[in-house]
Amino acid sequence: MFTGIITDIGEITELEQRGDLRARIATGYDTATIDIGASIACDGVCLTAIALGEGWFDVEISAESVAKTNIGDWREGSRVNLERALKVGDELGGHIVSGHVDGVATIAAMQVEGDSTRVTFEAPEELAKFVAPKGSVALNGTSLTVNEVEGRRFGVNFIPHTKEATTWGLVQVGDRINLEIDTLARYVARLREFG
């Protein structure tokens, strides 16, 4: 489990297609404190550290994960939001995030508003019903509050701190973004099917 509070920006330094895709990610984390088998959210995708070195960790990514996320867009030099798994007693500053991406949204528009940036996303049809005004979503692993919703489109405001502490200061219209809907929305929708 994660909180959607990004604690590092990693860089993809190697990509190798074996049976699965293998990626090496440079990090500012003290890798001596990461165990082999540890879960690390990489742009919101829960991945397992399979090898470690000073300033880097490797992950293996299944074809399913590549197909359901924006990982297929990764290139050497790509920067990714990182978050280590939640520990009991940690502050829950965002919302509960599983690292199980539901689909890919697209950046439809961006507009500067003061020092902030308003970004409009377009969600896949099957996920749009789970996005609610003032509700939570995880986008590229970042816990964010939805401002408004209109059909499949929804808006999020990014303050300067978020743009500096994550990869959100680098995005452009057309970028594909990992979307994880709020767990509560998922369960409410499921309960309504049987109500």
User: What is the rounded CA–CA span in Å between residue 68 and residue 71?
Assistant: 8
pLDDT at 195: 65
* Percent of the chain residues past pLDDT 90, beyond the cut: 86
Q: Are 121 and 145 in contact (CB under 8 A)?
A: no
The second-level CATH assignment, the architecture, of 103-194 is: Beta Barrel (2.40)
Among the listed residues 176, 165, 186, 175, the one whose alpha carbon sits nearest the alpha carbon of residue 83: 165
CATH class of 8-84: mainly beta
Among the listed residues 181, 3, 182, the one whose alpha carbon sits nearest the alpha carbon of residue 92: 3
Average pLDDT estimate for 115-137: 96
pLDDT at residue 12 tops 80? yes
CATH 2.40.30.20 residue window(s) in the chain: 8-84, 103-194
pLDDT at 189: 75
**How many whole angstroms from its chain centre is CA 166?**
10
User: What is the rounded CA–CA span in Å between residue 149 and residue 131?
Assistant: 7
Of residues 187 and 5, more confidently modeled: 5
Report yes or no on whether pTM surpasses 0.75: yes
Average pLDDT estimate for 62-73: 96
